[in-house]
Amino acid sequence: AQSVTQLGSHVSVSEGALVLLRCNYSSSVPPYLFWYVQYPNQGLQLLLKYTSAATLVKGINGFEAEFKKSETSFHLTKPSAHMSDAAEYFCAVSDRSGGYNKLIFGAGTRLAVHP
Amino acid sequence: DTEVTQTPKHLVMGMTNKKSLKCEQHMGHRAMYWYKQKAKKPPELMFVYSYEKLSINESVPSRFSPECPNSSLLNLHLHALQPEDSALYLCASSQDWTSGGETQYFGPGTRLLVL
């Protein structure tokens, strides 16, 4: 079965600093990987997804993620944090082992941005 | 348009009440999902409908009853809930259910409180 591990349940950065949110996956087949963001009291919004077309994936709001097969990682980065980036971030892998497309989520990382 | 709408936004109900949650999408998606999300946790899959038929029930108690009247609409009927069922209920949709890498688009959720 596929799984996702997000290292660090809380990450705190200063406004303008680099954002790095870590995600490692376990998959026996080439994975489809996703990053979603959830702002307080809202649903999940897709930031970006990896579908094997390119290892560096650019998403919305200045975020990007790099797929590294050798490290089984899909870390999310943003060069300069804004206050509005404060939210919960979920990494997810598409699990096709059951013959259907089920999203397996990591535990989430709460990003805090301080002035 | 990648919008999934959910009503109501908030719902308070007693343990003997019957209520329904509604979800709608007009993206022509053929797969629709219900998730349950407890505070500070990732979403947990409850049900999947594919082409208006129930494809997956993740061992959800019978006090939750899903319904898919047509390809755009998904309901979740609630009856005799317990306080531990209080959570954010998220609806999502995707183009397909069986293909890998399909993006799931989430609604804003219904925050349910069971007294």
Which tens digit of pLDDT belongs to each residue from A38-70? Answer: 999 899 999 999 988 788 999 999 999 999 999
**Is B98 a residue whose pLDDT tops 80?**
no
Confidence of residue B100 (pLDDT cuts 50, 70, 90): confident
Confidence at residue A28, expressed as pLDDT on a 0 to 100 scale: 74
Amino acid letter, residue A23: C
Q: Please give the Cα distance from A12 to B66 (Å, whole number).
A: 39
Query: From edge to edge, which strands make up the β-sheet containing A19-26?
Result: A3-7, A19-26, A73-78, A64-68, A56-58
Which tens digit of pLDDT belongs to each residue from A83-110? Answer: 999 999 999 998 877 666 789 999 999 9
| A→B interface, C-beta within 8 Å | 32, 34, 36, 41-46, 49, 51, 90, 94, 96, 99-103, 105-108, 110
Contacts of B10 in chain A (CB under 8 A): none
Contacts of A99 in chain B (CB under 8 A): 98
> How far is the CA of B9 from the CAs of A5, B27, B31, B45, B74, in angstroms?
31, 21, 22, 19, 15
Confidence at residue A36, expressed as pLDDT on a 0 to 100 scale: 98
Which tens digit of pLDDT belongs to each residue from B48-95? Answer: 999 999 999 999 999 999 999 998 999 999 999 999 999 999 999 999
In angstroms, the separation between the Cα of residue A60 and the nearest Cα of chain B is 14
Q: Does A31 or A4 have the greater pLDDT score?
A: A4
Mean pLDDT of B34-55: 94
Confidence at residue A88, expressed as pLDDT on a 0 to 100 scale: 97
- A vs B: CB pairs below 8 A: 57
Average pLDDT, chain B: 93
**Is B2 a residue whose pLDDT tops 90?**
no
Confidence at residue B97, expressed as pLDDT on a 0 to 100 scale: 78
In angstroms, the separation between the Cα of residue B98 and the nearest Cα of chain A is 4
Least confident of A28-32, A75-79, B105-109: A28-32
Confidence at residue B43, expressed as pLDDT on a 0 to 100 scale: 96
| B101 has a chain A CB within 8 A of its CB | yes
Average pLDDT, chain A: 92
Least confident of A73-77, B15-19, B93-97: B93-97
Chain B residues 18-57 with CB within 8 Å of chain A: 40-43, 45, 48, 55-56
The SS3 call for residue A83 is: helix
Residue to mutate among A42, A44, A50, with most B CBs inside 10 A, is: A44
Q: Do A44 and B43 lie within an 8 Å CB cutoff?
A: yes
